[in-house]
Amino acid sequence: MRNEIKYPKYDGTQNCARMGVDVFYQDYDNKTTAQEVADLKEFCSNCNILVECADYAIKHEKYGFWGGTTPYERRVIRNKLNIRLNLPENDWTKK
């Protein structure tokens, strides 16, 4: 039985609401420059749900830039803390 997923309290007022999703779903591990990642980290740094978003992503997101973290950074955190990725039921990568 899967644990219930606690999504971030996204209400549309966050900075990312004004951006297209393509910005957050680039190949951050391989094709994005360090400056592009630094820019997104800065963009997320003053978000009111940054910690909640990062916590969600560490537990549930394989791809994308979430809560100021890249997929690689989240894998490192999961490995270090022995957290198993729990993908949402509607995750397209499970198909």
**Summary mean pLDDT of the chain:** 85
pLDDT digits (tens, 9 = 90+) for 35-67: 988 999 999 999 999 999 999 999 999 999 999
> What band does 85 get if pLDDT is binned at 50, 70 and 90?
very high
Domain ranges of the chain: 34-87
- Over residues 6-16, the pLDDT tens digits come to 778 888 888 88
pLDDT of residue 95: 44
Say which residues have a Cβ less than 8 Å from residue 59's Cβ, sequence separation at least 6.
5, 83, 85, 86
Percent residues over pLDDT 70 in the chain: 85
